[in-house]
Structure 1
Amino acid sequence: MHSRSWRRQLANPSKAKGTAWETAWTAYLREIHNPSAHRNVQMGAKDIGDVSGFYLHAAELKAEKTIRLPEYIAQANREAIHADQPFGVAVVKRVRAHVSAAYHVRDAATDVRLVNRLRDAEGLLQRHAPADVWKAHYEKHGKGR
């Protein structure tokens, strides 16, 4: 590591913590959801979220000592608009826990839109797919898994 980048990391441990969290969650996302998920380059006022590749979402990742949910949700929703995604989500690191225990946080309006979309998609699948396809889908994703 170059001495300048090493000094920068020491000068801003919060940024290093955030970067480590984004890297860990992206690796987890690649493993279980989308192999092409990646961290985004920050774009200032037109930021599109910290990580791309979480289906239909702009993901804003947070690893902070003091949790400020209203700010995180507002930021995720703004970034979803910039990223042309229907949903924003704040992914909040849980202290001393595995990445899979992170909190995914949305406001109620976003969550209802997401659940309505899932309900409608489920109905379409049930009506238009062969019965064995729907049953396999239900068994793979249903019953609290």
Structure 2
Amino acid sequence: MDIKQIQELIRFVAKSGVNEVAIEQEDFKITIKTNQAPTYVQATVPLHAPAPVAAAPVAAAPAAEAAPAAPDTSKYITVRSPMIGTFYRSAGPDKPLFVNVGDEINTGDVICIIEAMKLFNEIESEVSGRVVKILVDNASPVEYDQPLFLVEPI
């Protein structure tokens, strides 16, 4: 690359809005950085091809697509963890699960166990309704106030 090509490349980088350009060939490497706000454009050019110096228009990034709408959970009651510990859905590996999705629960029913400091604490439901979703995997650590279940009031 000669000095004239380098000068054209510098002008191109300054006009294009690109924050940084790096070109590497067998015996030559150049990086041009600007102080402009970064524009995110990524291009790959084979190293064996001659580096183009002519300015090419830079296309704007397409607008981000709208994320799919989250299901409406406003009609459900969230049962939260009253402590930090390990969440268990049953009293033991060979014991039945306290609740499953679709089960109806009443206030005072044991819905899970949280082990904290070698103590197994039975967690009782404070609401009556139908279990819609279990938000924590069995034997997973949970934080204080972490959502555990979604319950549809009945």
TM-score, with length taken from structure 1:
0.22
Answer 1 or 2: which has greater helix percent.
1
Q: Which protein shows a greater Rg?
A: 2
Structure with higher strand content: 2
Higher relative contact order (CA 8 A, sep 6+): 2
